[in-house]
Structures are given as C-alpha cells and as structure tokens.
Amino acid sequence: MNIEKAGVAKKNLDSLVLLRAIAVCMVCMCHFATAFWSKNSLFEYGKYGVQAFFVISGFVIPLSLLKGNFSWNNYHRFIYKRFIRLYPPYLAALAVTLILLFIKSKLHHAPFPESSADIIKSLFYAKIPEDNPVFWTLIVEAQYYLFIGCFFLLFFNYFKTTSYILFPLLLVLSQTTFLQSITFLHFIVFFFIGNVGFLIHEKLGKATINYIVLLALVVYTATFYNTPELISAIATITFILTFKKPIPRFFHFTGEISYSIYLIHYPLALMIINLLRRVISDNYIWLIFTITTSIIFIVSWIFYKVFEEYCEALSKKVKYTKVLNKEKVKGILAVTID
C-alpha cells in the first residue's frame, strides 16, 4: 500500500470510528435519561444508534474480509476471529453486570433475580440479564457473523442470484414469524444497506446497479420500519461514503472504546445515577449526567485496556490463508452482472 492509499484508508477508518462514537453516545443518553424522564422524552431517540451500529457492521465486516483475502476455507477462521475479539469482553461484562445486580439486590434486601440456569443461558446468548438489556443486540450481531461469512462470497460469485432472489427472499422472511428465533432477520435490511455501501465504496460491480439496490433498500426500510430507523440508516451510510476528514481526539477515543462503553454502561450508569440522586438534587441533572458520564468513560477505558485491547490483538494475529484478490473480485462482479 502506498502512502496516498494509506492516507485514504486512515480517513475512511476515522469516519467509522466517529460513527461508533456518535452511536454509542446516542444509546447511552437514551439509557441515562430513563432514570429521569418517561419513554416519550427526546432522549428516547438515542436508541436508534443501534441501527447505526448495524449499518456499520454491514459495511465494515465485508471490507475487512476483502482486505484480509477471505475465501471459503477460511470461514472457521473468520468465526474464530470474531469469537476471540468479542466474546471474552462479553463474558467480562456479564460478570460485571451480575456483580452489580448482586450488590443492588443486597442493598434493596431483595432476592438475586438470576438463577444458575439463567446465568448459564446468558453465557451462550440464550438469555438477556435483567440489568443489561443492551445484550440483545449482541445476539443479532453474532447471528450476522454466522451469516456474512457465507453470504460474502455467495454475493460475489453469484451476484445475480443473490441480488434478484436471495435479497428479496430474506427481506420477505424478515417480515414474517416463520424464523422468529433468528432475530438477525428482523434487522437484516440495515446490514444489507451497509453491504451495498461497501460495494459502492470499493467500486465493485456497476455503480448504477449498486445505487439502484441501495435505493430499493431505503424504500423497503421506509415502508416497513419507522422514520427514526430510516433516518439513522440513511445518515450512517451517507456519512460513511462521504466523510473524509480527520476527527477530534475525543471522538477517536470514544469510538475506540465504544464496544466497552456499550457493554457495561447500562447497569453501571443506573447504579451511579441512583446513588448520586440521594445527595444531589434533580435540579442539577446536568451535574449528575456529567459525573456519571465521566465515571462511565473512565471505567470503560480500564475495561478496554484490561479485556478488549488484548482480545483485539489476539484476533489480528489470526490470518486467512487462501488469497481472494481484489481485482479478481471486481472481475467476478463484472462478469456476473453483465
């Protein structure tokens, strides 16, 4: 990679880091606000940062597979990479959640709400702990990883089949209860928007067709989902494709530790807020928010350094073996589309 290309790649990475920072702040503000206001408050819209995360995953995972020379025989390596990158921090966050829930139960002289069976189920994404509801998105992401490892090469090798048959079929299934246990399906359109954005970004296939497919996905989202979800998806993919500037250090820091913030912010923040409200009047909500946010960032940074950074380094050491040349991919798309 020459210097010019490296600079472009860095700026593109910056856009993703900034988006992660914005998305996690949106989600945090939504959850912080629940301690003070009803669900009808303006801050409730922060929950649509989740859709932004889904679009980002739809974009960045195919990009990493392409850059990493992914091929069929590397599917197990891809799953292993995602496993060691994300699962150990999840287990650590689950432990933090259960410890805080235990402390909360003792303080309120209430029984511990999680049974041994519940905890075992939580280890395998089969149950969401009572005090950390954000874990539901991790189930969606895990199912997406199992899907994209197969879909990535199907899309390239059988472009017409996937675009004209598989895309519509999966979108139809996402609006039924036929496969309701596969929660990823309900949000698949947001991942697809990221997938098509990846093709546009990497100039793979015919640009006209890519934009038509993207427009069709936007129309589909407008039809079956609410307006904030649509806005979140459109804003995210537009930002990814157009933003080329460096980002402020604060947002870079926040984006880098966004996964750690996301994992532990909910139970920790609500406990901090409840404790602060005993000594600080609700007339000083801004002060409570400032203290809570500061503590969350500090603890999340420590969590990142202790758990996530190490897992990230381990994941990067796993390499794919067989080369899937980028020019070959372009050739495949050109042939199948034509």
Residue-level pLDDT at 40: 60
CA 12 from centre of chain: 17
Domain boundaries, the chain: 3-337
C-beta separation of 329 from 66 below 8 A: yes
Instruction: For the chain, give the mean pLDDT.
Output: 88
Residue-level pLDDT at 245: 87
Instruction: Tell me the mean pLDDT in the region 160-172.
Output: 86
**Tokens, residue 57:** 């995953």
- Least confidently predicted of 67-71, 183-187, 293-297: 67-71
Quote the pTM value. Answer: 0.91
C-beta separation of 280 from 287 below 8 A: yes
**Is 263 a residue whose pLDDT tops 70?**
yes
Residue-level pLDDT at 323: 54
Integer Cα distance of 320 and 77 in angstroms = 7
Integer Cα distance of 215 and 51 in angstroms = 17
**Is 215 a residue whose pLDDT tops 70?**
yes
Query: What does residue 83 show for φ and ψ, rounded to 5 degrees?
Result: -65, -55
Residue-level pLDDT at 220: 97
Instruction: Tell me the mean pLDDT in the region 138-159.
Output: 89
C-beta separation of 217 from 168 below 8 A: no
Look up residue 133 and give its DSSP letter: G
Residue-level pLDDT at 327: 52
Residue-level pLDDT at 9: 43
C-beta separation of 256 from 304 below 8 A: yes
Helix ranges, 203-246 (H) = 207-224, 227-242
**Is 5 a residue whose pLDDT tops 80?**
no
Residue-level pLDDT at 7: 35
C-beta separation of 128 from 136 below 8 A: yes
Integer Cα distance of 115 and 334 in angstroms = 55
Q: Which one, of 296, 246, 308, lies nearest residue 271 by Cα? A: 296
Q: What angle do CA 249, 253, 256 make, to 5 degrees?
A: 135
Q: What is the pLDDT of residues 297-338, one digit of tens each?
A: 999 999 999 999 999 999 999 998 865 455 555 544 443 343
Residue-level pLDDT at 325: 53
Residue-level pLDDT at 326: 52
Look up residue 306 and give its DSSP letter: I
- Alpha-carbon separation of residue 248 from 27, 241, 255, 297 (angstroms): 20, 19, 11, 16
Residue-level pLDDT at 21: 97
Residue-level pLDDT at 205: 84
**Is 78 a residue whose pLDDT tops 90?**
yes
Instruction: Tell me the mean pLDDT in the region 273-301.
Output: 94
